[in-house]
Amino acid sequence: MRGDVYLMTAAWVDGYITGINQYAPQTYDVLSFEGTELLMSILNEHCKTHPGDPVFGVLAGLFRKVWADRITDKSDKTTIVLADKQARHYLELIERIQKRLQAKRFYTGAISGKYSPQTIKAMKRYQKSIGLEETGFPDQLTLWRLLRSDPGVNR
C-alpha cells in the first residue's frame, strides 16, 4: 500500500499534467503513453540518488525531455486487450509504435494505427530482443524502452 506522501505527490503530478494539457500551446496530451505510476517510479529513482533536488524541478526536466513527443492534436484512443492485460492508447501512439518497430526492423506491415496481430508479433520480437517477457502487450516499460531509447526518432 502506498503512503500518504506518495499519494499526495501522485495527485500533485496528475494536476501538473492536467495544467500543462490545458494551457500549453499545441498540446493535447504532454504524455503520449506514460502513466502516473511510471512517472512516480522515475521520480522516486531520481530522488534516491539526488535527494536534494526539488520535485518540481525533476518533473519539469522530465517533461522537457518528452515535450517533442507530446500528442499535439486530438487523437482518439483504442483499448488493447491481450490475455489478462488491458490498456488504452492513442491511435497516434500506435502509429509511432509501428514506425519505431519498423525502423528497428521488427515490423513490416502498414502504419495503420491499429494494434494488429502483425504489430503484436513485432512487439514480441522486440521484447525478446531486449530481454523482456514476450507478451506483445504495449506496457509502460516496453514503450519506454522502445520510444525513449533513441531521442528524435519519433518526431
The mean pLDDT of 96-113, rounded to a whole number, is 96
List, for residues 11-28, the tens digit of each pLDDT value.
999 999 999 999 999 999
> Whats the size of the chain, residue-wise?
155
Q: pLDDT confidence of 155, banded at 50, 70, 90?
A: very low
Q: Quick check: 47 and 24 in contact, CB under 8 A? A: no
| CA geometry: angle 131, 141, 110, nearest 5 deg | 85
- CATH number at 117 reads 1.10.101
Q: What is the pLDDT of residue 154?
A: 41
CA 145 to chain CA centroid, nearest Å: 9
Structural domain tally of the chain? 2
Phi first, then psi, for residue 125 (nearest 5°) are: -65, -40
Same domain, 54 and 92: no
Going from the C-alpha of 80 to that of each of 8, 84, 112, the distances in angstroms are: 30, 11, 15
Domain C-terminal end among 69, 94, 112? 69
What is the extent of the structural domain holding 12? 4-69
